[in-house]
Amino acid sequence: MPNIKAAAKALRKSKKLQAKNAAVKNNIKSLLKKSRKAIVAESDEVQNLIHDTVKAIDKAVQKKILKANTGNRTKSRLIKKFNLISKK
């Protein structure tokens, strides 16, 4: 435990931020899973799910929750899968 007031406050802030970032990452992971399942099932909602997923990833990158390359790589892989299925 920190002995200094400022250190205690910094610890509280970092715990809050960590929880917030974890929630955003979990949301992105669940959106990715839903999108991948919809792509494989060739569902009607694929376009909306992919749009929501890409939007969430872009927001996370903008807020520095995800690194830019990670976000771009994830979006690229998701859209590649969609394009492969949609060509069939």
Domain ranges of the chain: 5-87
Token code pair at residue 38: 């919809």
The residue type at 36: R
In whole angstroms, give the CA distance from residue 12 to residue 10.
5
pTM confidence score: 0.87
Integer angstrom CA distances of residue 38 from 15, 17, 31, 57, 84: 35, 32, 10, 18, 13
In whole angstroms, give the CA distance from residue 59 to residue 9.
27
Q: What is the mean pLDDT of residues 8-31?
A: 97
pLDDT tens-digit readout, 41-82: 988 889 999 999 999 999 999 999 999 999 999 999 999 999
- Identify the pLDDT of residue 28: 98
Domain 5-87 -> CATH class = mainly alpha
Integer angstrom CA distances of residue 71 from 4, 6, 36, 51, 77: 37, 34, 16, 14, 10
